[in-house]
Amino acid sequence: MSITRFALCMAVCAACTLATGCVNYAAPVKPPRGGIFTMVKGPIDTDMAQTPRPATLKIGKATSKGVLGLFGWGDASIEKAAANGGLVKIHYADYEFVSYAGVYGTFTTVVYGE
């Protein structure tokens, strides 16, 4: 293999590696990251003043995971979290993000409703 072909192959591999996404970049939030350990929670909702607060709330969670920014799997959608909690009406949603030195991370969607 010539040097030119090898360089082209390496450039394509590098571009593919850099183009891979992380779980949290596809989500509507981008939590802050710590270099060694990250554990953050926050709202996905933006209009909490308009959110009803019934006396009894059900909670549903759904989690996706990733390793090294190269592999990601799971369903952290609001739909999956609602199904996991048996909710038919969603009032608001939060997220939880945990990362261990960028090696392993989880993104959890938490929904509250009836």
The 10s digit of each residue's pLDDT in 55-73 is 778 899 999 999 988 899 9
- What residues does each domain of the chain span? 21-113
The C-alpha atoms of residue 12 and residue 51 are separated, in whole angstroms, by: 48
For residue 23, pLDDT over 50 is answered with no
Residue 101 confidence class, pLDDT cut points 50, 70, 90: confident
Q: Report pLDDT for 28.
A: 61
Instruction: Tell me, yes or no, if the pTM score tops 0.75.
Output: no
Q: Which CA distances in Å does 19 have to 12, 15, 39?
A: 10, 6, 25
Q: pLDDT band at residue 25, thresholds of 50, 70 and 90?
A: very low
